Structure 1
Amino acid sequence: MQLRPGWFVSDLTPAPLGATFSYRLTPDVSVVAGAIAKGRFFQNSQGFSTYFLLGAGYDF
C-alpha cells in the first residue's frame, strides 16, 4: 500500500529521504506546470503571480 505525498504528511510523520524529496518536489512541479498552462492558454499575468506566490512557500 502506497500513500500519495500529501500537503502535511511529512510534517506529522518521519519519512525517509526519498519520500521527503517527493513531497517537496511534487507541489513545485504542479505549480510550474500550472503556471505554464495558465500563461500559455489564458495569457494573464495575474495567474502567473498567483502560482509563484503559492510556490514560494514550498522552497523557502
Structure 2
Amino acid sequence: MANALRKINSVYEIEILEEVMVAEANVFLCRYKDKRFNVYFDIVYGPEIKAVSSISVEN
C-alpha cells in the first residue's frame, strides 16, 4: 500500500517515512514541505489525517 501511495503522491512531493500496521488501522508517517503528518486508514472509522507539525489547510 505504501508503494501505491508513493506513486500517486510523487507529484505532490509527499514523503512516506514509515508504514505502521496496528490492529485498528494502518498508519503512514508522512512529510510534506518539512511538515510532518500521519495518515490513518481505519476499517471502521475511515481515513483521517493528523498533523504532527503545524500545517495549514491550504498545504
The bucket for the TM-score relative to the shorter chain is under 0.3
Between Structure 1 and Structure 2, whose CA radius of gyration is higher? 1
| Bigger RCO of structures 1 and 2 (CA < 8 A, at least 6 apart) | 1
User: Structure 2-normalised TM-score?
Assistant: 0.25
TM-score for the superposition, normalised by structure 1: 0.24
Of Structure 1 and Structure 2, which has the larger fraction of its residues in helix? 1
